């Protein structure tokens, strides 16, 4: 299968990253929050502000809480409300996953999500890497009308999973896009581009920002994209 034009997506938790994404003309961004734990849904305010600043494909992660991907009926209603709100505010792509028993896809709820997303792009979250029998799962997602899968090849990083990524792409056979993500940076992306058959790559390039004002409270840390690392990638491939 012939490889398409290379595309790059930045995973972002803040407006500063979005401004960089526009400056360096990235193909897409994925908005989320609390990236340290795999991300949860971003605020509607960040989405609205990002839509004003970024002209490329704007994706939003739909994950209402930390923890696994099995949701009860109340959480599922919240998920539907979030999707509807984000689409109304200008999201182009919804990133989501829902699992049922034995870490298999909750097919019924994924059908509902596909319907709620209407014509928007639907990307299956990296929860894909936790599901057994991936060839069957890829076919299920194609049947559901999912457009894209974010995956590291079932390994901690996409570099480690490059062989599996190529296998997934072969199974997909152009019917669904396989997007590599996890651990990609300016030092290893050349290897991934040269050794994989994929066209789309997802990364954050994030670094921790130190707070100059100490606090007695446990406030956590904030992260931003390292501009130099982003520049290194886009100068080579942009």
Average pLDDT estimate for 124-150: 96
The rounded radius of gyration (Å) of the Cα atoms in the chain is 17
Average pLDDT estimate for 165-185: 97
> Quick check: 3 pLDDT over 80?
no
> Quick check: 213 pLDDT over 90?
no
Average pLDDT estimate for 182-202: 97
Q: What is the pLDDT of residue 1?
A: 59
* pTM, rounded to two decimals: 0.94
Average pLDDT, the chain: 95
**What Cα–Cα distance (Å) separates residue 19 from each residue in 34, 35, 70, 73?**
19, 18, 34, 37
CB 9 within 8 A of CB 202: yes
Q: For 5-43, how does the pLDDT look when each residue is reduced to its tens digit (9 = 90+)?
A: 999 999 999 999 999 999 999 999 999 999 989 999 999
In which band, very low, low, confident or very high, does the pLDDT at 51 lie, cut at 50, 70 and 90?
very high
Q: What is the pLDDT of residue 128?
A: 97
Q: For 14, list phi and psi in degrees, rounded to 5.
A: -155, 165
Structural domains of the chain, with CATH: 7-237 (3.20.20.380)
Residue among 98, 103, 82 at smallest CA distance from 31: 82
């Amino acid at each position: 299968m012939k490889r398409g034009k290379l595309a790059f997506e930045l995973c972002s938790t803040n407006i500063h990253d979005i401004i960089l994404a526009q400056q360096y003309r990235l193909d897409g961004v994925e908005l989320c929050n609390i990236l340290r734990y795999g991300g949860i849904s971003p605020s509607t305010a960040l989405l609205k502000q990002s839509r004003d600043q970024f002209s490329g494909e704007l994706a939003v992660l739909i994950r209402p809480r930390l923890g696994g991907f099995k949701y009860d009926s109340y959480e599922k209603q919240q998920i539907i409300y979030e999707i509807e709100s984000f689409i109304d505010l200008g999201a182009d792509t919804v990133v989501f996953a829902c699992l049922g028993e034995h870490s298999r896809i909750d097919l019924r709820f994924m059908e509902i999500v596909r319907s709620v997303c209407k014509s928007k792009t639907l990307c299956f979250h990296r929860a894909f890497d936790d599901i057994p029998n991936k060839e069957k799962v890829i076919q299920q997602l194609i049947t559901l009308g999912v457009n894209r899968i974010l995956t590291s090849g079932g390994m901690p990083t996409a570099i480690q999973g490059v062989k599996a990524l190529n296998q997934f792409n072969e199974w997909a056979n152009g019917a669904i896009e396989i997007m590599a993500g996890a651990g990609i940076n300016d030092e290893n992306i050349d290897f991934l581009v040269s050794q994989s058959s994929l066209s789309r790559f997802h990364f954050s390039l994030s670094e921790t920002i130190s707070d100059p004002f100490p606090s007695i409270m446990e406030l956590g840390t904030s992260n931003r994209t390292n501009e130099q690392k982003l520049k290194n990638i886009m100068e080579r491939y942009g």
